[in-house]
Amino acid sequence: MKPVRSSYDVVIVGGGHNGLVAAAYLARAGRSVLLFERQPRIGGAAVSARVFAGFDARLSRYSYLVSLLPRSIVNDLGLRFVTARRSVSSYTPVGEQGLLVSSAHARTEASFARFTGSQREFRAWQGFYGAIGRMARRVFPSLTRPLPSRDELRTIVADQALWEGVFERPLGETIESTFIDDTVRGVVLTDALIGTFTRAHDPSLRQNRCFLYHVIGGGTGQWEVPVGGMGALTDTLAVAARSAGAEIITACEVTKIDTDDTTAEVEFCEGRVGARHVLVNAAPFVLAELLGDSTPRKPAGAQLKVNMLLRRLPRLHDLHVGPREAFSGTFHLGESYTQLDRAYREAAMGRIPSVPPAEIYCHTLTDPTIVASDSATRGMHTLTLFGLHAHADLFAVDPEGAKTGMVNATLAHLDSVLAEPITDCLAVDENGAPCMEALTPPDLERELGLPGGHIFHRELAFPYLPNEADPTDPATRWGVSTDHRNIFLCGAGAIRGGGVSGIPGHNAAMAVLEDGHPTWARTSI
Ligand SMILES: Cc1cc2nc3c(=O)[nH]c(=O)nc-3n(C[C@H](O)[C@H](O)[C@H](O)COP(=O)(O)OP(=O)(O)OC[C@H]3O[C@@H](n4cnc5c(N)ncnc54)[C@H](O)[C@@H]3O)c2cc1C
Give the residue-averaged pLDDT of 165-187. 98
384 Cβ below 6 A of ligand 1: no
pLDDT of 521 over the 90 cut: no
- Compute the distance from residue 456 Cα to the ligand 1 centre, in Å: 7
Residue nearest to atom 27 of ligand 1 (CA): 16
Give the single-character DSSP code of 1: -
Of 129-133, 201-205, 375-379, 482-486, where does mean pLDDT reach its minimum? 375-379
Reported as type and span, the H/E element at residue 131 is helix 120-139
For 296, residues 6+ apart whose C-beta sits below 8 A from its C-beta are: 284, 285, 288
Asked whether the whole model's pTM tops 0.95, one would answer yes
- Compute the distance from residue 503 Cα to the ligand 1 centre, in Å: 13
pLDDT the model gives residue 522: 39
Q: Where does residue 400 rank: exposed (0-12), middle (13-18), buried (19+ CB within 10 A)?
A: exposed
Of 89-103, 385-399, 496-510, where does mean pLDDT reach its minimum? 89-103
pLDDT of 235 over the 60 cut: yes
Give the residue-averaged pLDDT of 223-239. 98
**How many C-beta atoms lie closer than 10 Å to residue 374's C-beta?**
14
pLDDT of 519 over the 80 cut: no
Q: Where does residue 368 rank: exposed (0-12), middle (13-18), buried (19+ CB within 10 A)?
A: middle
pLDDT tens digits along 260-306: 999 999 999 989 999 999 999 999 999 999 999 877 789 999 999 99
pLDDT the model gives residue 75: 98
448 Cβ below 6 A of ligand 1: yes
282 Cβ below 6 A of ligand 1: yes
Percent of the chain that is helix, strand, coil (3-state, to 5): 40, 20, 40
Write 104-112 long-range contacts (CB < 8 A, 24+): 111/320, 112/184
pLDDT the model gives residue 320: 87
pLDDT tens digits along 46-78: 999 999 999 999 999 999 999 999 999 999 999
pLDDT of 405 over the 70 cut: yes
Q: Can you name the residues that pair with 83 across neighbouring β-strands?
A: 226
**How many C-beta atoms lie closer than 10 Å to residue 131's C-beta?**
17
pLDDT the model gives residue 465: 95
pLDDT of 525 over the 60 cut: no
pLDDT tens digits along 126-137: 999 999 999 999
pLDDT of 518 over the 50 cut: no
Confidence of residue 377 (pLDDT cuts 50, 70, 90): confident
pLDDT of 250 over the 80 cut: yes
Q: How far apart are CA 240 and CA 242, in angstroms?
A: 6
- Compute the distance from residue 441 Cα to the ligand 1 centre, in Å: 13
pLDDT tens digits along 350-372: 999 999 999 999 999 999 999 97
pLDDT the model gives residue 104: 87
Average pLDDT, rounded, for the chain: 95
Give the single-character DSSP code of 148: P
- Atom index in ligand 1 nearest the CA of residue 18 equals 25
pLDDT the model gives residue 517: 58
Confidence of residue 201 (pLDDT cuts 50, 70, 90): very high
For 212, residues 6+ apart whose C-beta sits below 8 A from its C-beta are: 139, 166, 167, 462, 463
Q: Of 473, 482, 464, 453, which Cα lies nearest the Cα of 515?
A: 473
Reported as type and span, the H/E element at residue 178 is helix 171-178
Q: How far apart are CA 250 and CA 260, in angstroms?
A: 27
Residue nearest to atom 10 of ligand 1 (CA): 499
Q: How far apart are CA 187 and CA 334, in angstroms?
A: 10
pLDDT the model gives residue 373: 80
Give the residue-averaged pLDDT of 170-176. 98
